[in-house]
Amino acid sequence: MAELGNRPTPPDVDRVAASRAAIAARRARAAVKATIASGDVSSLTVLDRSSEEPEGIEGRLRVTEFLLSVPAIGTTKMHEALERLAISPAKRLGGLGKHQRVRLREYLVDREAANHGRRPNRLVVLAGPTAVGKGSVAGYIRENYPDVLLSVSATTRSPRPGEVDGVNYFFVDDAEFDRMIGAGELLEWATVHNASRYGTPRRPIEQALEAGRSVLLEIDLQGARSVRAAMPEARLIFLLPPTWEELVRRLIGRGTEDSAEQQRRLETAKVELAAQDEFDYRVVNSDVADAAREVVDLMKIRTAPSRS
Ligand SMILES: Nc1ncnc2c1ncn2[C@@H]1O[C@H](COP(=O)(O)OP(=O)(O)OP(=O)(O)O)[C@@H](O)[C@H]1O
Ligand SMILES: Nc1nc2c(ncn2[C@@H]2O[C@H](COP(=O)(O)O)[C@@H](O)[C@H]2O)c(=O)[nH]1
């Protein structure tokens, strides 16, 4: 009897569970706060863009509580941030969409940079299927947005008429490309369309980022994946055609590949289109100037993106 009498009654069980949950939530808040204070927000698993649905204690925190844990964010700043990031105050961290998590993470990383007197620099990857207009959009950005450094890739393919060495590409032979790989000079490289090799020279990018400039890489899907693995802070944008038919029209209309090469490129295009969800943002290229502006806006994190 005495033993039975010492057992918690059902309401006690509820109270014990509630108090355990409260302690766990307090610990989670403290852990998040400590992580943020350490200046390493990127280590918060809940903001990891690769984890599909973050679970656990971090995931159960309300986004409002989370933001209020960040030093120097009070109620007003918290509400401003949520509005800017297009996140409802009712959300829990675990309930954020992938793109909301990306935006929240970038907001915190940029704050951190500003707190340490650094300008938030931005590495942006523009990828998409063949002939969607990546080169056209990137070229428009080079002409009209001089603040953005457009990376010049090395390639083993031959120049097309009008292409200039050092402007469109560094045209190199296989031996030189091998040397660049061996010397660690490339941030990433890939064989594209089962044909030529293309790679991103590392040094100019590092120098530009160190100087606080934004950098745009116009590369293929494999390259985008490699950059994400090497530099998780990179923002990945996928350029889409208005329709598949328009893509084919652009490829054929460009007239720079023979029909066998066009077929090869369209095969790759199907694979690339199927991977568009891996990207942080999608931009439809109906008009080059509009698409370029959208890409530059995303580099500046000026507006909330079109997807959540
Ligand atoms: N918004 C647009 N409207 C109509 N035509 C466009 C548009 N954007 C690009 N084009 C045309 O589509 C063709 C392909 O464009 P571009 O060469 O820029 O594509 P790309 O994505 O860089 O291709 P690739 O990956 O094969 O190098 C070009 O002839 C270009 O002028
Ligand atoms: N992985 C990389 N891909 C690159 C790089 N530079 C360009 N590209 C991509 O190659 C294809 C074909 O380009 P094209 O000029 O021959 O039509 C296209 O998808 C480019 O985005 C690079 O450095 N790395």
Residue ranges of the domains in the chain? 21-117, 122-299
**Which ligand approaches the C-alpha of residue 137 most closely?**
1
User: Is the beta carbon of 199 within 6 A of some atom in ligand 1?
Assistant: no
- Alpha carbon dihedral 58, 61, 67, 70, in 10-degree steps, equals -50
What is the model's pLDDT at position 69?
Answer: 81
Q: How far is the CA of 286 from the centre of ligand 2 (A)?
A: 21
Cβ-based neighbour number of residue 66 at 10 Å: 26
Q: pLDDT value at position 120?
A: 60
Q: Does 130 count as an annotated binding residue?
A: yes
Centre of ligand 2 to C-alpha 241, Å, is 17
Q: What is the spatial distance between Cα 5 and Cα 1, in angstroms, rounded to a whole number?
A: 6
Length of the chain equals 308
Helices 244-254 and 259-274, interaxial angle, to 10°? 150
Averaged pLDDT in 10-residue chunks for the chain of 308 residues: 52 75 71 67 61 60 86 90 92 85 79 69 90 95 91 96 93 98 97 90 91 91 94 90 98 93 94 94 96 87 38
Q: What is the number of the ligand 2 atom nearest to the C-alpha of 154?
A: 23
Which amino acid makes up residue 265?
R
Query: SS3 of 215, please?
Result: strand
Q: Provide the pairing of β-strand 148-150 with 153-155.
A: unpaired
Q: Residue holding tokens 């091998």?
A: 178
**Does any ligand 2 atom lie closer than 6 A to the CB of residue 157?**
yes
Are the CB atoms for 130 and 222 separated by under 8 Å?
Answer: no
| CB distance 223 to ligand 2 below 6 Å | yes
Q: What is the pLDDT of residue 33?
A: 67
Paired with 122 in beta bridges are 214
pLDDT for position 110: 75
Determine whether the annotation assigns residue 74 to a binding site: no
Residues 208-244 as b or e (16 or more Cβ within 10 Å = b): bbeeeebbbbbbbbbbbbbbbeeeeebbbbbbbbeee
Phi/psi at 27 (nearest 5 deg)? -65, -40
257 CB under 6 A from ligand 2? no
In this predicted structure, what is the pLDDT of residue 42? Answer: 56
Cα 215–chain centre separation:
13
Q: Which amino acid type is present at position 274?
A: A
pLDDT of residue 83: 92
Ligand number nearest CA of 197 is: 2
Which superfamily does CATH assign the domain made up of 122-299 to?
A: P-loop containing nucleotide triphosphate hydrolases (3.40.50.300)
Helix (H) or strand (E) holding 214: strand 214-218
Strand order in the sheet with 197-201: 169-171, 153-155, 197-201, 186-191
Tokens, residue 254: 């460009």
194 Ramachandran zone, left/alpha/beta (phi>0; psi -120 to 50): left
Consult the annotation and say whether 133 binds a ligand.
yes
Is 0.95 surpassed by the pTM of this model?
no
In angstroms, the Cα distances linking 246 to 65, 83, 118, 137, 241 are 47, 36, 43, 16, 7
Nearest to 209 by CA among 154, 299, 149: 149
pLDDT of residue 2: 40
Q: How far apart are alpha carbons 237 and 133 in whole angstroms? A: 13
Q: Of all protein residues, whose CA lies closest to atom 7 belonging to ligand 2?
A: 219
Contact 41, 112 (CB under 8 A): yes
The C-alpha atoms of residue 64 and residue 93 are separated, in whole angstroms, by 9
CATH class for the domain made up of 21-117: mainly alpha
> Any idea what DSSP says for residue 92?
B
Residue with tokens 């951190």: 112
- Please tell me the distance between residue 161's alpha carbon and the centre of ligand 1 in angstroms: 15
pLDDT digits (tens, 9 = 90+) for 10-57: 667 777 777 777 776 677 667 766 776 666 665 666 666 555 554 566
**What is the rounded CA–CA span in Å between residue 295 and residue 236?**
10
132 C-beta neighbours (distance < 10 Å), count: 27
